[in-house]
Structure 1
Amino acid sequence: MWQWTSDLTTNRAYQGFVGRTNELDTLRGVLATEGPRVVHVYGITGIGKTALLDILAAEARDAGASVIRLDCRHIEPTEPGFLHALGDAIGDGGPGVDTLVERLGLLGSTVLLALDTYEVFRLLDTWLRQVFVPLLPDNVRIVFFSRQRPLDVWFSAPDWGRLVQSVPVQPLSPIEAQALLNLHGIQKEDAASLIRASHGHPLALKLAATASRENHARSWPQETVLQHAVDELSWMFLADVEDSASRHMLQGAVVLRRVTVSLLQALFPELAPQNAYERLRRLPFVDGGHDGLIIHEAVRDPLARSLHASDPSRYLDYRRAAWRQLVSESQSAASDDLWRYTADMLYLIENPVVREAFFPTVTALHTVEAAQPQDDEAITGIVRAHDGRQASELLLQWWRRMPQAFSIVRGATGEVEGLYCNLRSDQVEPSWLLNDPVTALWYSHLEQSPMRSGEVALFCRRWLSRNEGDSPSEIQAAIWLDLKRSYMELRPGLRRVYLTAIDLGAYQQVAHRLGFEVLGGWEVELDGLCYPSAVLDFGPASVDGWLAELAAAELGIKRDPALLDVEARQLMLAEGRVALTPLEFGVMRYLVEHQGKAVSRRELLQHVWGTRYQGGSNVVDAIVRTLRRKLGSQSARIETLTGVGYRLR
């Protein structure tokens, strides 16, 4: 008896799947001509969203639809990052959104675009809703699978009501939970306590079934909350890993966002890294991706917490080893891969101030989007309600001159509840900056502490909430989250962020942890009120270097002391400071900025001397000789690479 391949794939998707009748019926409507164009499927970790996606994809293919699946964990949450990933998936290298949308329209009568783990794409939600989704042709249906419920603005936008639908994925009913346990070999008389412990959570049920089969004699508590059940069951699952080497690797790998061969080598130098990677890949709760392995959160998180509690020293050593490897790899990462290292570094940072600033765990109630001309009345009203005549006129002058620099914050009903003005140093007229006392101060600071060519500063000129002004609020939190999107898009060119607020002291603790410095003596008085300023300098390595420094401080890693004082143009040695000539400073600065990498004489001639004349490379050697003399005991840090150039160790 033979079967069509499509039947086999559909049957495979249904294996081990129970319940979800209502959810499936709703999702099947996506394939209908009059069905919704956009569907948000959401539920907590391990609740079964991916299983629903597997079945929907299989049934869609059986119906003749083209299915495109993207895992948002592996995509940089910026417009170029998403478009690049989509272009790869549909076999079209065109970078523009119009080109890709046109390509989607040619893929067939029905195209299903599914975005899994969409919760990590919060920074791009507004752009997808306002720009990308409205451009999709009639044959395309888009389905988001996320741990977080969709923002209300998806449903409140005009003419979108019938086109958008949400599908909450709830825990299994007791009958469905019993059916799932039956599939895993657990009889009815043994299932009652497991169902109570898991509260119908599918992954917890599967972990419980596996542990129960192997530990049948163990008596389960009658009163257990879900998290306790997942913690205990995850440890039992760990105990069932066949060999001690795999258990040892798993316990260390839980400190990582994604597991790669190189990171395993850093954490376990005594093991063969490729073999270690293959061992982990075969574990049932580990998913493989094109850029590494992902340990399921329901297993990873409790194991990490347990290791932290039982052996904090080893837990810290693993994280430090991961940090060193990530810093080393990120220095040579291609632009398309840089986001992965950024996310990996963020995962090592446990400071909630930093974590929440980039990946908030609480579902936002407000959306931030570009201001439009019809928002003028709301913007003007909010500004004049909180700022005096002089301050209001300065801010509204920016609104008239550069409306594209303004964003507004909408609440659940779509009403404008806040705004912020964010200027880029490379896109604003200097004369306009000088016409505003606040931005004139920032411009003066830039002149006194200049950035390198190509570096950008962000001027967060003002943020205001309708009710709270510039004080801490949910509106301000939404604005700061949107500001992090700008951080990601502008790196590695972003060097500084300037901001001001009347209530700047209310942010002192958070700002200090993030590295902001209050510019003492640079206050501006408007309408009798003081507007202090603060600046965050990311350093020459931009946002990624800043995050690496934050992680290093949290992990207790002592970085090498700075060798070069850029502002003073001096070497900082144990013996004291040593002045440099302009050419010595130029060469030393370039070597410092490319520390650990080979730098050719041609590069130095081009970037320091501003010439490509190859015959003059001996002048580079002469400058390096004088630098080595001035470095004294540290002269060996400048290595000569025969046939190439130099490298600063």
Structure 2
Amino acid sequence: MKELLASQALEAFVGRSAELEALRETLAPEGPRVVHVHGIAGIGKTALLERFAAEARGAGTTVIRLDCRNVEPTEPGLLQALSEAIGSGHPDAEALARRLGGLGNSVVLALDTYEVFGLLDTWLRQVFLPMLPENVRVLFFGRQRPLAAWHATPGWGRLLRSVAVAPLTESEAGELLVSLGVSRDEATPIARTTHGHPLALRLAAGAVGEARRGHWPEDAPLQHALDELTRMFLADVGDAVTRRVLEGAAVTRRVTVSLLRAQFPDLAPQDAYERLRRLPFVDGTSDGLIIHDAVRDAIARSLHASDPSRHLEYRRAAWRQLNAEAESAGSGDLWRYTADMLYLIENPVVREAFFPSGTPRLPVERAQSGDEQALADIVRAREGAEAAEVLLRWWRRLPQSFSVVRAPEGRVIGLCCKLRSDAVEPTWLLDDPVTAEWYAHLRRKPMSRNEIALFCRRWLSEAEGDSPGEAQAAVWLDLKRTYMELRPELRRVYLVANDLAAYAQVAQRLGFEVLTERTVELDGRAYHSAVLDFGPASVDGWLAELAAAELGVRRSPELLDVDSRELVLEAGRVPLTPLEFGVMHHLLARQDKAVSRTELLRDVWGTTYQGGSNVVDAVVRTLRRKMGDQAARVETVTGVGYRLRSR
């Protein structure tokens, strides 16, 4: 069936001669090594990729295609996905680059829906692509043009090409409509209405009918046409069940059988899934079904306007199911649930923080030795003498902790210093008045041994200092990439600014709290600190909490109050000893997963403890006694250790 559907899609392909010719040039020995294919949503980028891939394979080229929607946008995430795609057991960048080159005389790596990979663009340009052998070509298919940094980086020059995917001409649009079963008489007004937009043309072909010919929204903007065509298509869907399922599915990032079961307990979930799979704007992926976002957004907007209660209930049902699945998901699957939770959140502060709707103009890159003077100039221009010396001391000690923001022409215009708690000497933290305060806070409110704190020591731009601006926005987006890479071990983020009030609205919505114990002063200026504690479930749990709050989902109270180190039971609060707290905290962070006694000894007692594992059993016994009617949640896993059940 998959091959048949692909064959029919290729048969319906029309036009694109200029775009195809540009892609064919990549296969020539002197052709471009990297091609950015860009165009608006629904313009036909994926169809173009499929046509070119079929043609290239027919000519003997090996084509490896990844859908970026299904890949965690981090270096390890991409390397793992690529390793699985080419059958390599070692997701190491250099080894994978060599393996790609060995797949054939001519190899194409195509990354579709590249717009969701903004967090990785710099790493690909600076690190991975230069590793690739000469016989490998890379194609990016996405909505945005390549960043100016691609053109500004020395060496790319003729190796890079940008290809814009334009709307179909009126004759091409008519040809596509006829291939989809529309008569030539009907095709002409539809082609004009849809602005040559392939997705709109396919919707129109599905909705066309004699009774509706007079309702084509001629001369309307494209988005209005898409909304109207979506409404007309839904009106033509023959049964109420499919329409209902489509509306529920439109509030989620992807569609799975388990999500449909949660949203529609009265329906057979597999049947509902198959109904969706047959629709012309639904793609099947390894992650489930994905409704084309232009259609999905139109359906969701319509449902929200016409029946906000049902729109909310579909999202709540999806949240409950995703939250339950995420609790037992393996580390390799966590990204899927992170992206799913982000999609459920409509709060623009959170959505924009992770996936900005606009194109990021300024790249953030790891600082190089040649950036030292520019970096020092910004620091000394924006900081007092004492503060500058403290920050530059971090550069001398840990230059790898610095990243720089570059202008389109490549000049350094901003910087960021971020440190990991597990990769920095405590004595160095104490040398810096700002990080010394953070270290003191960690001592007052310690984390588990396996948890990490990220210290965002400073961001500065030559134009705004640490105030909001384009460079600061680029730095904050890059921080989200670090969040993704460090989860599920990342527990806290500390940051500092001279004027926290400028960030108050965003920071409070995200959950940051100001540290009020003591304000650090350097050169007569106040440096205010704030901390975001993600909780024991790291970034994924934090996002789930944000979504729950927005959706009004009632959550059962946490079993453990981390700050007071007490159990929270219906009968009241019960204090815990340090070891009881350590064991409970560790099990809670790995809820529904088996934890070995060896792991508990290492992370709670410390690696230097020489006693036997029976001490773990003794602490668990006292912990269970204190838990009362909740004691059964701590299960013994024979031959392994223990597991804390979520419910």
Both structures adopt the same fold (TM-score exceeding 0.5): yes
Q: Residue 626 of structure 2 aligns to which amino acid in structure 1? A: L
Moved more, 339-348 or 60-69: 60-69
- The residue number in structure 1 matching 2:531 is 535
- Change in Cα spacing, 1:214 to 1:278, as seen in structure 2 (3 Å) is farther
Shift of 1:269: 1.4
Any idea what SS the aligned residue of 1:141 has? strand
| CA distance in 2 between partners of 1:401 and 1:618 (Å) | 43
Equivalent in the alignment of 1:251: 247
1:437 to partner: Cα distance: 0.7
In structure 1, which of residues 516, 519, 524 is the aligned counterpart of residue 520 of structure 2? 524
Is the counterpart of residue 156 in structure 1 residue 133 in structure 2? no
- 1:638 lines up with 2:632 in the alignment: yes
Aligned-pair CA distance for 1:647: 4.5
Q: How many Å separate the matches in 1 of 2:246 and 2:496? A: 46
- Structure 1 residue 492 and structure 2 residue 488: aligned? yes
Contact 2:111 2:141 in 1 (8 A): yes
Match of 2:626?
627
Match of 2:425 in 1: 429
- Separation in 2 of the partners of 1:410 and 1:621? 53
RMSD (CA atoms): 2.5
Give aligned-pair identity as a percent: 64
* Equivalent position amino acid for 2:284 in 1: G
Indicate conservation of the 8 Å contact 2:580/2:620, yes or no. Answer: no
Secondary structure at 1:199's aligned position in 2? coil
Write out per-residue CA displacement over residues 391-416 of structure 1, whole angstroms, 9 at most, x where no aligned residue: 11111111111110100011111111
- Partner of residue 352, structure 1: 348
Q: Which residue in the other structure is 2:55 paired with?
A: 59
Tell me if the contact between 2:601 and 2:616 (Cα under 8 Å) persists in the aligned partners.
yes
Among 158, 175, 182, which residue is 2:178 paired with? Answer: 182
Q: Is the 8 A contact 1:10 1:55 kept in 2?
A: no
Could you give the per-residue CA deviations for residues 159-206 of structure 1, whole angstroms, max 9, x where no partner exists? 211000000111122332233233334445434442333222111012
Cα pair 2:19 2:165 within 8 Å, conserved:
yes
- Decide whether aligned partners of structure 1 residues 641 and 53 sit closer, same or farther in structure 2, where only a CA change above 3 A counts: same
| CA offsets 1:489-521 (integer angstroms, 9 cap, x no match) | 000010111111112210000000010111124
Q: Distance in 2 between matches of 1:564 and 1:579?
A: 10
Tell me, what secondary structure is at the counterpart of 1:162? helix
Residues 1:240 and 2:239 aligned together: no
Q: Deviations over 1:90-122 (max 9, x none)?
A: 122122112111112222211111111111111
Structure 1 segments unaligned to the other structure (5+ residues)? 1-7
Conservation of the 8 A alpha-carbon contact between 1:604 and 1:620? no
Give the C-alpha shift of residue 580 in structure 1.
2.8
Are positions 1:292 and 2:291 aligned together?
A: no
**Secondary structure of 1:426's aligned partner:** helix
AA partner of residue 457 (structure 2): R
Q: Is the 8 A contact 1:606 1:612 kept in 2?
A: no
Match of 2:86 in 1: 90
Change (3 A) 1:618 1:331: closer
The AA in structure 2 aligned to 1:319 is R
Report how far residue 10 of structure 1 moved.
Answer: 10
Do residues 408 (structure 1) and 373 (structure 2) align? no
Shift in Å at residue 39 of structure 1? 0.2
Q: Distance in 2 between matches of 1:127 and 1:347?
A: 25
d(CA) in 1 for partners of 2:636, 2:8: 58
User: 2:601 & 2:389 partners in 1: Cα distance?
Assistant: 49
Q: Secondary structure at the match of 1:251?
A: helix
SS of residue paired to 1:235: helix
In structure 2, give the amino acid aligned to 1:560. Answer: S
What TM-score comes out, normalization by structure 1 length?
A: 0.93
Q: Contact 1:13–1:58 (CA<8 Å) still a contact in 2?
A: no
In structure 1, what is the Cα distance between the partners aligned to 2:515 and 2:488? 24
1:198 aligns to 2:198 (yes or no): no
Contact map agreement 1:10 1:59 (CA 8 A) in 2: no
SS at match of 1:478: helix
> For residues 535-575 of structure 1, what are the alpha-carbon distances to aligned partners after superposition, in whole Å with 9 as ceiling and x for unaligned?
11111111001101110111011222233222322233455
The change in CA–CA distance for 1:374 and 1:104 in structure 2 (over 3 A counts) is same
2:317 maps to 1:321: yes
Give the Cα separation in 2 of the matches to 1:626 and 1:9: 60
Corresponding residue number in structure 2 for 1:107 = 103
Identify the residue that residue 311 of structure 1 maps to in structure 2: 307
1:225 aligns with 2:214: no
CA displacement at 1:45 relative to structure 2: 0.9
Letter in 1 for 2:167: P
Query: Where does residue 4 of structure 1 map in the other structure?
Result: none
- Any conservation in 2 of the 1:601–1:620 contact (CA below 8 Å)? no
Deviates more, 1:226-235 or 1:589-598: 589-598
**Scaled by the length of structure 2, what TM-score is found?**
0.93
Equivalent pairs, count: 638
Aligned residue type for 1:364? P
Distance apart, 1:233 and its partner CA = 1.1
Match of 2:129 among 127, 130, 133: 133
Question: Structure 2 unaligned runs (5+)?
Answer: none
Pair 1:27-2:23 in alignment: yes
Q: Aligned residue for 2:383?
A: 387
- Whole-angstrom CA distance in 2 between matches of 1:9 and 1:567: 56
